[in-house]
Amino acid sequence: MNWITNYVRPKIRALVTKPDVPENLWEKCPSCSQMIFHRELESNLRVCPHCGYHMRISARRRLEMLFDEGAFKTIELPEVPLDPLRFRDRKRYTDRLREAQTKNDGDEAIIVAHGTLGGHPTVIAVFNFAFMGGSMGIAVGEGLLAAARLAALQEAALIVIPASGGARMQEGILSLMQMPRSVAAVEIVKEAGLPYVVVLTDPTTGGVSASFAMLGDVALAEPGAIIGFAGQRVIEETIRESLPDGFQRAEYLLDHGMVDMVVTRAEMRDTLARILGLLRDKTPSAEVVTLPVGDEGAPEDEPEPEIPPVPAEEGSDVRT
């Protein structure tokens, strides 16, 4: 009986039982509906290899992608009141915060890190869309101010990467007050004479796009990113007109002068490093060529071209 139980039965079960296959080995592209193996998708920076669709990426993965050798240090954000309005809808706001922090290992809707990018000291504030849609509350406003002060202290460039649905409704007017506070954070960097670069990702909407997201010295965007204030359906119902194809997409905003460049995720780091090099390096990258000089040390004067006299028309009173 032991022989049957310990040997025969496991062999029979192995033949008839289907092996457990993880459900997250393949991911479907939202744009072209192609199935992509998870390792291929991660190696391609979560960009569809078939159609080039840029899927959303985690905040910490984006930091690893941008900083030199993926090395960076995060800072602790200032403490803020968790539920200043004692807000409750279907759940208490404190319960929502607790669930979001559990899913994101304690991170908030913004992560501030510092390191080097292309050899230049850089502070990056990246939004975490997985935390309540990257909504902007008091913690985000404090995070942006902390990032600006750190950039001014280290004489570093500030790069902000928003991915947000706008203000956080659970904090009411306190959330809307973060719009002018974020603009004040931008002014701290600009008054220090430091570069402020914005990388617009999908989505950048609401109060985020109406404040610091559109104030960058250079504005970059990922392909296909939705960038705007109100949603397309809301605008169409308000003006009672159909909007053009691709409205509020990064390419549409590039054609209309709202962003400076649309850069793929694979080229983002090199592009940012080149921009920071142009803004920070004060020495010329090209060789300085000396102009030829005359015998007395002054540039040789070229002879002035002779201007022929204007011929007089027949019958006119002009005399030479």
Task: Please report the pLDDT score of residue 203 as a whole number.
Answer: 95
For CA atoms 115, 116, 120, 124, the dihedral sign is negative
Give the Cα separation of 73 and 160 in Å (integer): 16
Please say whether the beta carbons of 158 and 196 come within 8 A.
yes
Peptide bond between residue 203 and the one before it cis (omega within 30 degrees of 0): yes
Encode pLDDT of 74-93 as tens digits. Answer: 999 999 998 999 999 899 99
Encode pLDDT of 133-167 as tens digits. Answer: 999 999 999 999 999 999 999 999 999 999 999 99
Q: Locate 188 and state its tokens.
A: 């701290």
pLDDT surpassing 70 at residue 316: no
Encode pLDDT of 184-220 as tens digits. Answer: 999 999 999 999 999 999 999 999 999 999 999 999 9
Please say whether the beta carbons of 101 and 130 come within 8 A.
no
Give the Cα separation of 178 and 320 in Å (integer): 78
pTM above 0.75, yes or no: yes
pLDDT surpassing 60 at residue 300: no
Task: Please report the pLDDT score of residue 320 as a whole number.
Answer: 47
Mean pLDDT of 263-292: 88
Query: DSSP secondary-structure letter at 212?
Result: G
User: Chain-wide mean pLDDT for the chain?
Assistant: 89
Range with lowest mean pLDDT among 54-63, 100-109, 253-262:
100-109
Task: Please report the pLDDT score of residue 166 as a whole number.
Answer: 93
Query: DSSP secondary-structure letter at 166?
Result: S
Please say whether the beta carbons of 117 and 126 come within 8 A.
no
| Count of residues making up the chain | 320
Match 């960058």 to its residue by tokens.
216
pLDDT surpassing 70 at residue 255: yes
